[in-house]
Amino acid sequence: MDYTVNVGGRLLSTTEPLVMGILNVTPDSFFAGSRAREESEIARRAHELAGQGAAIIDIGGCSTRPGGAIATEAEETERVRKALQVVRRELPEAVVSIDTFRPAVARMAVGEFGPCIINDVSTGQDADMFPTVAALRVPYILMSARANISDMLVEFADKVQQLRDLGQKDIILDPGFGFGKTLEENYTVLREMRKLEVLGLPLLAGLSRKRMVHQLLGTTADEALNGTTVLNTIALLNGADILRVHDVRQAVEAVAITRQLRAGEETN
């Protein structure tokens, strides 16, 4: 999709799919390789993501893994603040997104460190989130936990209109793989994801090392890189504009391969 996301004057085009690299400032995110808690670890991870081709660095301070403990607002705020201090110092030009469901964390991040994308996995359940992002004038990722594309389309259309009525400009849609869906439902949504393009907004696919990979294959999150790359490639072929991943280099390669595949289709 040819769409431009404005992050404080920094324009991100989705004409070619983008890769978002995950930096978790948590002790319990389900994939240990994405965790970085000390300043040196945060700096190393940020440089690794950027060096491998991440267009966006997604910072999370509260794990949302099934059965995990939810950090307090104060804990999440301090974790995200610490990570942003390091990333802004080490990579001042990096485009950053904040993985949070708390409006207060969004306000802190933008107020103290400048414009960034707000990546909300709560499906906008907090009534204050929509007014907050609209007032902050930053891009917003809206996720759905609906189990099928039909219900997702209805929900997205309603919530996008709510956001537009508040003056929200840039909106990215996330089908919410792994949230509120069975294994079979996840794969059905992936297969039908292109139907969401009718809404005219960029699509983000967050499939990386999730249970829909390792549960199907009888492995673990640590062993799910190959399956993740397969799903990322399918997502790109089915309309994904942004891949949210733990493993940036492999995702960048998937983007390059699907780009070449499509270029061959256009010349035939």
Q: Which position has the higher pLDDT, 118 or 263? A: 118
CA of 234: how far to CAs of 38, 107, 207, 228, 231, in Å? 35, 35, 11, 10, 5
Other CB atoms within a 10 A radius of the CB of residue 32 amount to 12
| Residues across the chain | 268
Specify the DSSP element, H or E, that contains 62.
none
What pLDDT is attached to residue 86?
97
Banded pLDDT at 28 (limits 50, 70, 90): low
Task: Flag whether pLDDT at 217 surpasses 70.
Answer: yes
- Residue 262's pLDDT is 85
CA 123 from centre of chain: 13
- Which residues, 6 or more positions from 166, have their beta carbon under 8 angstroms from its beta carbon? 130, 131, 134
Look at residue 268 in the predicted model and tell me its pLDDT: 56
CB within 8 Å of 265: residues ≥ 6 apart: none
Tracing tokens 């993740």 back to the chain, one arrives at 228
Mean pLDDT over 214-237 rounds to 96
- Bridging pattern class, strands 10-13 and 4-7: antiparallel
Average pLDDT over residues 22-45: 77
> pLDDT per residue over 133-179, tens digit each?
999 999 999 999 999 999 999 999 999 999 999 999 999 999 999 99
Q: What is the pLDDT of residues 51-67, one digit of tens each?
A: 999 999 999 999 876 66
First to last CA, the chain: 21
Does residue 31 carry a pLDDT above 70?
no
- Over residues 231-257, mean pLDDT: 98
Q: Contact, 71 vs 62, CB < 8 A?
A: yes
Mean pLDDT of the chain: 93
The predicted structure's pLDDT at residue 32: 57
CA torsion angle 25 27 33 34 (round to 10): -20
State the pLDDT at residue 263: 86
Per-residue confidence at 27, pLDDT binned at 50, 70, 90?
confident
Question: Phi and psi at residue 31, in whole multiples of 5°?
Answer: -115, 110
> Could you list the active site residues?
210, 244
pTM over the 0.85 mark: yes
Two tokens, residue 121: 């996995």
